Amino acid sequence: MGDHRARLVWTVNCRANGASTEDARDQLEAAKSVLKLMERFQMAATWMLPDPVVQRPLCERITSYQGQEIGLLGESLDSNDRDGFARELARRVEPARNSGIPISTLSLSRLEGNLDLLVRHRISAVRVEQAKSVKSCRRFGVWQIASSEVVPSRQGFWGARASRAAIDQLIRDGQTALYVVDLAALGRGEQLKSLEAVCKHVARQGLKVCSFAELGRRLVSTEVVRPARSILKSA
């Protein structure tokens, strides 16, 4: 049904380091719930962590589930100048790789003039929050991909009918949507149930779900990936 090129990419922000605070404990519990959802519906997801080496126990839990991969949540890199950006990127990426945690994707609020540094550290795709469109950076071969929506939305979830309609439109249009699950805001109540309902419809409709790294590998220079209409945001 629809365009076979349509894809959904789940990325999950998890800032929890240990369980020393109530917020960290809540995020870890939310992470367990999302992992179970991904396992139940056999969906891949890319988990964005600020420091994978420090968060190694969490990395091991995540990657014990099929189709789950680790990316770098680069919030702390955004405020650095170029030299600081290079140092912080190296400090997080190389030790992770040396300890057996492959990192090829990164999330940033913006990307300004540091593409060559990403290539040096073998980053192939970047999730950019402040972007008007999704585009490839052909000079260096790094893909910049704009997030389509953050879950949960500040404006609340759509109902089940609207969610189904938006997913169906995504399939018909052959678009690729990249969604960000924010564990700090997700909780374990109605919002988690709404996420479950979305996953259920995605599975029912046969919409292809791939990891962020896989999407980067699949993209070619002739493809244009547009941010999809939100399935979780009120009109």
What integer pLDDT is reported at residue 161 of this predicted model? 67
Q: Could you tell me if residue 92 is inside a domain?
A: yes
What integer pLDDT is reported at residue 148 of this predicted model? 77
Copy the structure tokens of residue 69.
């991969």
What integer pLDDT is reported at residue 51 of this predicted model? 92
What integer pLDDT is reported at residue 193 of this predicted model? 83
Contact criterion met (CB below 8 Å) for 122 and 115: no
Q: Could you tell me if residue 229 is inside a domain?
A: no
Domain encompassing residue 111? 7-218
Q: Could you tell me if residue 189 is inside a domain?
A: yes
Q: Could you tell me if residue 224 is inside a domain?
A: no
What integer pLDDT is reported at residue 138 of this predicted model? 52
> pTM, whole model, 2 decimals?
0.85
What integer pLDDT is reported at residue 62 of this predicted model? 95
The CATH number covering residue 20 comes to 3.20.20.370
Strand partners, 66: none
What integer pLDDT is reported at residue 206 of this predicted model? 93
Alpha-carbon distance of 182 to 162, in angstroms, equals 21
Q: Could you tell me if residue 132 is inside a domain?
A: yes
Q: Could you tell me if residue 58 is inside a domain?
A: yes
- Number of domain units in the chain: 1
| Ramachandran angles phi, psi of 108, nearest 5° | -135, 155
Alpha-carbon distance of 212 to 188, in angstroms, equals 25
| CA neighbor of 65 nearest in space, from 48, 49, 42 | 42
**Per-residue pLDDT in tens (0 to 9) along the chain, 235 residues:** 445 678 999 999 998 776 567 888 888 899 999 999 999 999 999 999 999 999 998 999 999 999 999 999 998 887 788 999 999 999 999 999 999 999 999 999 877 778 889 989 999 899 987 554 445 455 577 888 888 777 766 555 455 566 677 788 889 998 888 888 989 888 666 778 888 888 999 999 999 999 999 988 887 444 544 454 434 433 3
Q: Could you tell me if residue 231 is inside a domain?
A: no
Tens-digit pLDDT profile for residues 146-166: 887 777 665 554 555 666 777
**Tokens 């991969």 sit at which residue?**
69
Task: Supply the angle between the helices 160-173 and 190-205 in degrees, to the nearest 10.
Answer: 40
First to last CA, the chain: 26
Q: Could you tell me if residue 233 is inside a domain?
A: no
Alpha-carbon distance of 41 to 37, in angstroms, equals 6
